[in-house]
Amino acid sequence: MKKCFFAYSDQGSKISDSIKEAVARVNNGGIIIDIKPWNAMDIQGRSIPREIISSIDECEIFICDNSNLN
């Protein structure tokens, strides 16, 4: 199974809602890819940029939506 990391702005917009729905569909659809959205990370009390960079480094596929500022 391919590991994928998805970075996007989670400002409560329709875009982030659509991304969350798409990630859930892919992860539950039996496709040989596991998408980890950034907001599913256990980052409480940790350096967010460091954890995100580490997740990007560990994945085989990186997806980013940068249409909204974060």
Query: pLDDT tens, 42-53?
Result: 666 666 677 788
Kindly report the backbone phi and psi dihedral angles of residue 44, in degrees, each rounded to the nearest multiple of 5, phi listed first.
Answer: -60, 120
Kindly report the backbone phi and psi dihedral angles of residue 2, in degrees, each rounded to the nearest multiple of 5, phi listed first.
Answer: -80, 135
61-65 and 33-37 beta bridge pairing: unpaired
CA neighbor of 15 nearest in space, from 69, 55, 56: 69
**pLDDT at site 14:** 82
**pLDDT at site 12:** 64
Q: Is the pTM of this model over 0.75?
A: no
Kindly report the backbone phi and psi dihedral angles of residue 3, in degrees, each rounded to the nearest multiple of 5, phi listed first.
Answer: -95, 130
Alpha carbon distance 22, 18 (integer Å)? 6
